[in-house]
Structure 1
Amino acid sequence: MMWDDGTGDAAARPGRRAGLVSRRAFLGGSAAGLGALGLAGCAGNDALLLAQARETYGPMPNEKFPIPAVDISKVDPKYYRRVVQYESKEAPGTIIVDPGKFYVYRVEGDGTATRYGANVGRDGFLWHGDAYVGRKSEWATWTPPKEMIKRQPEAAKYARGMPGGLDNPLGARTLHLYQNGAYTLYTIYASSEPDTIGSGITSGCVGLLSQDMIHLYARTPVKTKVVVLPA
């Protein structure tokens, strides 16, 4: 399905939102002792990871529409935001989307990248290639295109636009992808549905948790290069 941000440009958006309109050893001691120590170490690491995640994905009360904390129990820890080793020939700041692994990377330029978990296009809606951020939107108005209204008549009530807000399909922030001056209809957007991260559900777009999208958006100027890898 295609989605529009109120400026006349349509953008794909996840089917899950259609319900609204259509957010997973030390040396010494016996073998048993070693096992206990190993488990204790894992438990400590897990506790630290969860504490960091609760902070990273906590509420954002100062937003125009206050954003609640993410229910991190619905997100596989491998998709939590983190800095990872990542060698790339791309310039610092470049965004690389890896739909096959459900990750979005921001190249940091020192052999590392900030990695975000994502949802991506479902089968039949996967796109790849080079693009750039041609436009940025905060809490944009969403207008369903005529094609969507035809398929989903209940969307007709928003034919004149749905104001920005927590239930708006475009989310808190949107990066609109362009090629050669033309809008590709693909976006990187903010998702409020944590159970979608790590899945292919959209009509080609890429969704990050709202807290992650706001983090990426603030560090991404217009004209930033975006590389979408083949799935």
Structure 2
Amino acid sequence: MELFAVPDLPEVKPGDDLAALVGARVDLAPDDVVCVASTVVSKAEGRVKTLDDFPAGPRAREIAARLEALAGEEKDPRFAQAVLEESTELLMEAPFLLTETRFGHVSVNAGIDRSNVPGGDLLLLPKRPSESAERLRGGLDADRVVVTDTCGRPFRHGQRGVAIGWAGLPASRDWRGERDRDGRELTATVESVVDELAAASNLVAGEGAGGTPVTVVRDFDFGDHAGSDELFRDVESDFVRQALRGWRYEG
């Protein structure tokens, strides 16, 4: 398997044809997986906003005041309002905001970015990333597209790439019912392939000012396995989320 970054992409602006910008800079082969950072997808889709787009309501002001008291630094309630409007559930409100986005992804601050946002204060995640991936797939005439983001992980330091949208391949490779090396049947192993591709892509894409937002994964073989599009846990099977619903930060 080979991974390489798509070179020389310009700064993406609202309304840009992202597929055309990428397609002009790379010749895709059959079965390539194109991994695209959500930042450029959001920029092309006009998800650049200012804080003034989110007048703070009472709940946002309350949240900001508590975070300000905990952190000892000023917190803008308009940012809290943006997080609330981009979320379906606020899982934690202190010492940081952990939310579920409208498409099911759980992340800090609803995945809103405040760096590298020309013309605005905030960059929101794509509204429906898998639909974005499908549009890019059609525009690029590509077999497979993954929209990626970076986020932290419980119990570990640091961030890594994850998939938030995908098209042309299943989200997961299901090994249940197959056998291990000793002949025992696998009963629980479901491999999150799109997350693994996103993480591998992030190693090539890099971070910061030198980062490149689009990479190509070549010669990835899904194999002869069952596939599944289940990536985000539902509440009934997410025991961590259930526990968080009854927990309050007292620091």
TM-score bracket, shorter-length normalisation: under 0.3
Larger relative contact order (Cα-Cα within 8 Å, sequence gap ≥ 6): 1
Structure 1 length normalisation: TM-score? Answer: 0.25
Structure 2 length normalisation: TM-score? Answer: 0.24
